[in-house]
Structure 1
């Protein structure tokens, strides 16, 4: 039986599976078919939680005597949007002018395809690695991330699985392969602040209490002063207002309530608890400000609700893992990659609780876009980087 050594062929098989979150779409079946000839033991647990769709995941293990390396990723993809806007069908994996087109080409079926090809080449050229390799693949990364990696890690750990290091194949390079390795991520914290006022006629404001005025005061306090100026390893913490909602279709009615949602990407100056305390303190102090509420002396009445599970900031310090990957990137591309903590969150935020983790994958310029595509040359280059990394890390 032939081994899956061609990353482009592997990727085409995965792209043709319509695995839009949370649908498996055949992607895990296609991946399992690639791994079986390499000797992997494969399991596909399904996890559930009330109010969320069931999600099928894959855990594959190639066992050996020695350290244990995990490769983590996801086969689920975001929706394609307007299909008519694509110049190449999003699930046909058409190759033209040196590129392969398709949803998930770079985020992140391409990374999975390259790692499988790299491992197949290691096996073909020298036999199994001197240790164990596992693939931890979810179908829930682009969704709520409830029935995916976090539960798959817990499931595997309860069965006795331990890992010495992990590589996540997310697209980390901003311009070209070799630009960047992600060695940590900022934390993420979201909340909604709601101001309660008194509805009334706009011509008689003294009979009402406009909550929009109070909300502006509170939002100003959240935005200024800046939360910090950054740290040695992370850029400054940033708070963004992501929505402001009043739900008032009338122009002559003062609304009863106004709310705003915000998200904070924070560095290692903060923990979730200390940042929540700072936000509470800012809102409490601002609630006493009556500048925008003529004739009102009582504090602004508000509610604060935290949304979604927060993500803690983390930074990986593991010379063996980072050194082996950096050296592999430099050997293949001629460039020494920068070590970065920029960008959003990924499933590495769950993996860091079990072992050191870094992220390195394709160029991410077209991820989530119409005509998502990957250079065929990049598929080969990334495969060579992964192959060298596997050899060097186990050596």
Structure 2
């Protein structure tokens, strides 16, 4: 009989185990991991550097980065947030650094630093780790004499007083929890890039520029062909990266996170509208181009008058029906109007998605209404706790998903420790 069994050897599971063991050294803790390796998501995060958290220190601002979980995490972030995460790692000799975009990494730039920290701490504190140990069922055993959880696995059966589930996006575990009476919000992908086949971006992968992107209402956009009248349902602004498959970068990833359920309902076929120069609206940009026409003598193609990559400018000029040898004095107002549209209201058809690197994130999971966010304990079954992405919580890219894991793991650990004190 263990005091605590943690199902899932990932970020939230290890973080919780360490905090429980530190607070109560005599408590017997086991981590059950279905794979050969633990902390696999930590390994690949941030391109192998591990994007530990984000330099956002205001709880409300931090919570605003969670399309699902914003309201529920506000209270927990007042108890444990970015500053506490930094403190945890610094206490263990792992300083973090802040990059220009706010992402935080260990100064070693290696995820192995974080993995070694967790595994060595777990070993030091006597936490048992069982690998290749797939859970096949949970049973809540309650009687006049007994009150414990039984965890059935492919290896053996484990018994425990407290059960913490930190399995991330695992459909089989969600199914087991559903059988126990928990409502599971149907999972859909989040954090993905847009697949786009379009001549305007076909030959320029690797180009990055600041842009504003809007997803158009699929139903209403069928009725409207005029770019300006297309109904927008989601929009974001930020760096946009052109790839071999289409578009990525923060501007796209934000849309994929906030629109996860809508875009799933669209079966990942929809239109987006891109403003490559978000500092301009169409009327203002056309006015600028007409002024350039009065003073510039070179070809339109060779005279990049806006702060966008040269190759992108070239493609958009050509897409506007302006031949390579047309000079500014010879370009027509109609052609400049079309160029304005291409620059500020370019329509692109998205046909499919691609996973963002190896950092797969899912929207969906245990219904948040069924969790006490002071302790991360189930409201449906006693002595059952959750942390991490097993819950219907997910974030935009930038270290926020790990911060959810740290916060949930810490508060679940506190809840478990306090429950032992009260028994």
TM tier, smaller: 0.3 to 0.5
TM-score when scaled to structure 1? 0.33
TM-score when scaled to structure 2? 0.32
The structure with the largest helix share of the pair is 2
Work out which of the two has the higher radius of gyration on C-alpha atoms and give 1 or 2.
2
